[in-house]
Amino acid sequence: MQKFHDRLALVAACLAFCVVVLGAYVRLSDAGLSCPDWPGCYGHLMVPHSEAAQAAFPDKPLDPHKAWKEMAHRYLAGTLGLLILVICITAWLGRGRLAGSPLLPSLLLVLVVFQAALGMWTVTLLLKPVIVTLHLLGGMATLGVLVWLVARCQPFELHPVSRSLRIGVPAGLLLLVCQIALGGWTSSNYAALACADFPTCQGQWWPEMDFVNGFHLVRELGVGADGSPLPLAALSAIHMVHRLGALVILLYLGWLASALLKVSGMRPWGWILLGLLLVQIGLGIGNVLLGLPLPLAVAHNAGAALLLSALVVIHSKIARGERS
């Protein structure tokens, strides 16, 4: 049963990564509202072929190409939810015989149910930025928990690590989650192109920025706190905070990777972390300079998911080393 449970977790983790990347593709290709209802599309479980199907949504013209992108994401997410349900049932049936408590799979199942609700609200609340950002974070959290379930069952030669690493790795995870949230906020507000140059923004090191409107959470897409159109200064504030966050991540995870390179048994993960970090920073700069091409923008989301997964595995290994 242990092998079956481990393989299920591995398949689910790979599928969760695909769901996160496909979700980014749907959002960045402007297909997030291509199906105006949920969980179906114009009242059907598959994208309808006839325009007569949109009679209930006369203001929402049917675009089958975009609608299939959205429905593919929903099908994949639904499959992931079923896999997680099986993992949870297996964990409870095998409690006492499987590694770890069934509580974590149970919490994961609750998370997935909430994530499904966020997916529905993303559509019904018309891409409200705070909901879109929470949906992204929910997807990343699902991926992180699944990676932890996989990592905790893998054989590992334990090595002692310094106190700075025992504290530094979870702190790095927290910083990365905050940066992913900032990235989600930047994307959901369409602020990625507020600065088209690098390292300056609009030709300035510190452009005019409106933090009040930019980071007012409870508002509709494209409007400020008072309901007026979101000004460029607000979009610039969002973009610049994400850019400064990337600098913090570069410095902190760079230090973390260099520290891991000095630990016997953790050197491969130090190189993996460093490589992913440099690629991710390069993708971020490339998105700015090249005007956010879709493949690069999707790859930037995938890079964040891979960085998160690497840090979760590293944290799992160090946590097991502490318990030994």
- Please give the biggest Cα pair distance in the chain: 66
173 and 142 assigned to the same domain? no
Q: Which of 105, 127, 154 is the last residue of a domain?
A: 154
Residues 129 and 243 in one domain: no
Active site (catalytic) residues: 70
Is residue 317, in this structure, part of any structural domain at all?
Answer: yes
Taking the chain (324 residues) in runs of 10, the rounded mean pLDDT of each run is 84 98 96 93 90 79 94 97 96 81 94 97 95 98 96 72 91 98 97 96 97 95 91 98 98 97 92 98 98 98 98 91 54
Same domain assignment for residues 265 and 302 = yes
Residue 164 tokens, joined: 């700075």
Pair 178, 238 in one domain: yes
Domain end position, chosen among 112, 131, 154: 154
Model's pTM, two decimal places? 0.95
pLDDT attached to residue 159: 66
112 and 199 both lie in a single domain: no
146: in domain: yes
Question: What pLDDT score was predicted for residue 157?
Answer: 63
Task: Classify residue 259 as exposed, middle or buried by CB count within 10 Å of its CB (0-12, 13-18, 19+).
Answer: middle
Task: Name the β-bridge partners of 223.
Answer: 229
Task: Specify whether 137 is located in the same domain as 222.
Answer: no
Its domain, for residue 313, covers 160-324
Indicate if 132 and 249 belong to the same structural domain. Answer: no
Domain boundary among 154, 185, 212: 154
Domain total in the chain: 2
225, 213 in Cβ contact below 8 A?
yes
| Dihedral, CA of residue 111, residue 114, residue 118 and residue 124, to nearest 10 | 160
Is 91 in the same domain as 164? no
Rounded Cα distance between 297 and 293, Å, is 6
Residues 278 and 147 in one domain: no
Co-location of 194 and 226 in the same domain: yes
Residues 6+ apart with CB under 8 A from 135: 23, 115, 118, 119, 122
56 within domain boundaries = no
User: Of 275, 288, 305, 77, which Cα lies nearest the Cα of 177?
Assistant: 305
270 and 191 inside one domain = yes
With tokens 């499987």, the residue in question is: 98
pLDDT at 152: 82
Q: Are 115 and 260 in the same domain?
A: no
- Reference 27, options 177, 143, 146, 135; nearest CA is 135
